[in-house]
Structure 1
Amino acid sequence: MKKYRLENRKGTWNYSAFAKAVVLATIFLVSCNQKEYHLQKVVGSKIAIDSSLTSVPEIEEYIAPFKKSLDVQMNEQLSYNPVSMYKSDYKLNTPIGNMMATIVRTQGAPVYKSRTGKSIDIVLLNNGGIRAGMPAGPVSMRSAYEIMPFDNEIVIAELTGDQVNELINYLIERKSAHPIDGLQILLNEDGTAASVLINDKPLDTNKVYHVATNDYLYNGGDNMSFFKDTPFTSIDYKIRNAMIDYFKKVDTLTFQRDHRFDYAH
């Protein structure tokens, strides 16, 4: 074995022996100083995301070109809304809710038909899913993101006549302006059902109905248990994207309150 020699003031060292001694000493010191560590506590803190946070100039400068390009896309006018619409406008059905239900049916039905050969009979969404109103004026992509900021997708569930009856009773009991389409419920003055029609026909308990909704409600959101374990089809179409596509092809929005869910006169 080739040996290397180190020179110092006191003479000559055998490097091989010296290296071995250093390694042994290191092992001895490490083994003698080993300690066991145990987690004593975990401390967390809450950081509020509000106006007290200041921007970082370097980050602002970096994202500025991307933000400018995105703002142009988000603010481009796609359609026009002549009258402001809000989900609190009326009690049982609202123009903005009717718009949402109509868009899901108009945009979703052709996709569902092409994939399954079947048609959508009913649309049911939830009033709470409408997260913003739509002021009168230009309608943009930003409008769609404000109304529907979530990535909820359109799904079509297959419900028996009895399950659709549960759906109808759910709406009657809650008397809320959940967006619906293809379904008309007229109430007596005491709140009981005076008339129920599905696409202008009475409920057929022997029929299977195809109900378009969103994935949140299908999975039991808002206590809509009538969807539980029913067959369904996802058409890979976000409600927000359906809104944007609809706005692009319609010059002016004309949605109004009607009698799809109302008191009989």
Structure 2
Amino acid sequence: MTRILITALLSASILTANSQHLTILHSNDTHSQIDPTDAPEDLGGVIRRKAIIDSVRNATPNPVMLVDAGDAVQGTMLFTLFGGEVEQKLLNHLGYDIQILGNHEFDNGIERLAANLRNAQPVVLSTNYDVDSTALRGLIRPYYVREIDGKKVGFIAINIEPAGLIDYANWKGLRYLDGYDAANAMAWYLKHIEKVDRVVAITHIGWDDPNGLNDQQLASRSKDIDVIIGGHSHTLLNPAPYVPNATGDSVLVVQTGSKGRWLGQVDIDLSENGSASSKLYKLTASKNKPDEVIEAIISPYRQKADSVGAVKIGRAAIDFPQDSQQLLNLLSDFVASRGEEISGANIDIAIMNKGGIRNGLSKGSITKGDIMTMLPFDNKIVVLELKGKDLLENIEIMCSQNGQGVSSGVYISYGADLKPISATIDGKPVEPDRIYRVATISYLANGGDYMKPLTRGHILAQSDSVIFNDIIDSLEHGALKGRKLKADDNPRMYLKK
């Protein structure tokens, strides 16, 4: 492929019944968002997605494939309660041809993931995960080839490095292979040995991660990849860019944001000098059509989820948007107070990661479902004894991430270079030689979000329950009972200007 034609959002390729074309519809990071997002946004939803898929399949004379770039799970009560079962049934029903693994597919461990994938009708790909020593053996292919009118298209999948991102217990036995090396080697094999005409890389590595593997770098370092269909960073690439590769040719890179708000389309002209084009479909209410089969699949799961999730347990005095300072402060302080309850000792600092918060809370009534979807992961609150030098090293990592949540009385500033300037607890600088009591969640205590220094701590106590159940219990029977939730909006980790 010598050049890529990038189309505007609503532009369309002119295709004929006799031309050698392939259309690929693609999604990524839908995160169990089976229903549309809440009003007033009201976007996405599986029924709207299927309406677009069906319309493209019916209107397009050439073959149409459907692929997902990972993280189809985690984010609503349906995953929390049923562990990915309903999402896999819907991928099957929608007729996906290929699915790949995101990091959240591992949230319940490899055994549960394997159980779900045994029922998968799409081809499951991973080019750079060696799973032969795990329960995933035999369920995942390294590549896939599709033939269209005498032309061949090869598909590969590049996954994110799990170390520091996924709890090790959930991917134990899997061997990670360098993504750049695996992609280039497999793309070369497909072009030169399998004699494919195009190579499409489906990835879950993100568009622009500055510290690791990403789609921009993959495209620029490649020689034989023609299109990258990406995920992980929740980036809406509109218009989709092209990136010059190592030989000066162009690679089309696409991604559709998150929660199924958009569906992407890539059209590939498979003639010798053919190009690829892309467009996006915004899934609005106008695209909504009833689908009795989808409702029948979801209904038994929804009934159970509603019976649990609809129970009112408290009230919020204000709105707590997902990315708000108030919510981050509220949860960090809860981790501190719960840490004191389970350890019977004062907590010096609590640490809560932004990535663990998946939804916000609205002013007014709070239900069990609100708490479970806000903090859906199976994390438990843990109390550690940690040396000051390790805490300072961890603070440096948190600053490099543009700050995380910390408890009241902790103030940490950092510069434009994301390097720490000061770190104080109750007005006193963190001392390298002192031992600190740190309350956090088990994911971070195990080195998640690259917080490896926390793994050097000595565990003093751990909650018997996951964090969302701790909060539910506190709202029903404990310190939060009868209180309207509120929190200050003062930044505790902040960029010093």
Q: TM-score interval w.r.t. the shorter chain?
A: 0.5 to 0.7
Q: Kindly tell me: are residues 193 and 227 of structure 1, through their superposed partners in 2, closer, same or farther at Cα, counting changes over 3 Å?
A: closer
Deviation at 1:133, TM superposition (A): 1.2
The answer as to 2:122 corresponding to 1:46 is yes
In the other structure, the counterpart of 1:213 is 440
Q: Give yes or no for contact 1:104–1:242 (8 Å, CA) kept in 2.
A: no
| 1: CA distance, partners of 2:315 / 2:396 | 36
Distance, in Å, in 1 between the alignment partners of 2:119 and 2:375 is 36
Q: Amino acid of the residue matched to residue 339 of structure 2?
A: G
Query: Residue type of the partner of 1:256?
Result: D
Change (3 A) 1:174 1:56: closer
* TM value normalised by structure 2: 0.38
- 1:218–1:227 contact (8 Å) kept in structure 2: yes
Alignment partners' CA distance in 1, 2:419 and 2:352: 22
Q: 1:84 to 1:44 in 2, by over 3 A?
A: closer
Mapped contact 1:125–1:214 kept (Cα < 8 A)? yes
Counterpart for residue 196 of structure 1: 423
Q: 1:161·1:208 contact (CA, 8 Å) conserved in 2?
A: yes
C-alpha spacing 1:45/1:75, structure 2 compared with 1 (3 Å): closer
Q: Residue 109 of structure 1 aligns with which residue?
A: 340
Output one character per residue of 1:206-241: Cα deviation in whole Å (capped at 9) or x when no partner: 211111111111112111111224211323232112
The answer to whether the 8 A contact 2:375-2:468 is kept is yes
1:136 matched residue in structure 2: 363
Aligned residues between the structures: 207
Equivalent residues in 2 for 1:122-161 (5 A)? 122-161=349-388
User: Given the superposition, is the C-alpha separation of residues 53 and 258 from structure 1 closer, same or farther in structure 2, using an over 3 Å criterion?
Assistant: same
Q: 1:203 to 1:255 in 2, by over 3 A?
A: same
Cα-Cα RMSD: 3.2
Q: How many angstroms does 1:45 deviate by? A: 2.3
Alpha-carbon distance in 1 for matches of 2:417, 2:294: 53
CA shift for structure 1 position 191:
5.1
Q: What is the rounded CA distance, in whole Å, between the counterparts of 1:192 and 1:226 in structure 2? A: 17
- 3-state DSSP class of the match of 2:449? helix
Aligned to 1:231: 458
1:162 has 2:389 as partner: yes
Q: Give deviations 1:106-154, integer Å, cap 9, x for gaps.
A: 22312211xxxx3221111211110111122211211111101122111
Q: Structure 1 pair 237/45, CA: closer, same or farther in 2 (3 Å)?
A: closer
Q: How does 1:47-66 map to 2 (within 5 A)?
A: 53-55=294-296, 60=300
Report the CA distance between 1:259 and its aligned residue. 3.4
Instruction: Report the CA distance between 1:72 and its aligned residue.
Output: 5.5
Q: Does residue 1:180 correspond to 2:393, yes or no? A: no
Structure (1 or 2) with the greater helix fraction: 1
What residue identity is the alignment partner of 1:173? S
* Consecutive aligned runs of 4 or more in structure 1 exceeding 6 Å deviation: none
Match of 1:81 in 2: 316
Partner of 1:254: 486
Q: 1:200 corresponds to which letter in structure 2?
A: G
Q: Which amino acid aligns with 2:323?
A: S
Change (3 A) 1:71 1:164: same
CA change 1:194–1:229 in 2 (3 A) is closer
1:35-85 CA-partner distances (Å, limit 9, x unpaired): xxxxxxx997239xx97535279x95xx99x84xx7465323322213221
Considering only CA atoms, is the larger Rg found in Structure 1 or Structure 2? 1
Q: 2 CA distance for matches of 1:44 and 1:104?
A: 38
| SS of equivalent to 1:255 | coil
Residues 221 and 187 of structure 1: is their aligned pair in 2 closer, same or farther, counting only changes over 3 Å?
closer
What's the secondary structure of 1:185's corresponding residue? strand
Q: Percent identity?
A: 25
Q: Secondary structure of 1:98's match? A: helix
User: Which amino acid in the other structure matches residue 98 of structure 1?
Assistant: N
C-alpha distance 123-44 of structure 1, shift in aligned 2 (>3 A): closer
1-structure distance, mates of 2:297, 2:424: 58
Q: Which runs of 5+ in 2 are unaligned?
A: 1-117, 124-259, 261-290
Q: Structure 1: any 5+ residue segments left out of the alignment?
A: 1-41
> Compared with structure 1, are the counterparts of its residues 133 and 122 closer, same or farther at alpha carbon in structure 2 (3 Å cutoff)?
same
- Larger RCO (alpha carbons 8 Å, 6+ apart): 1
| One-letter amino acid matched to 2:365 | P
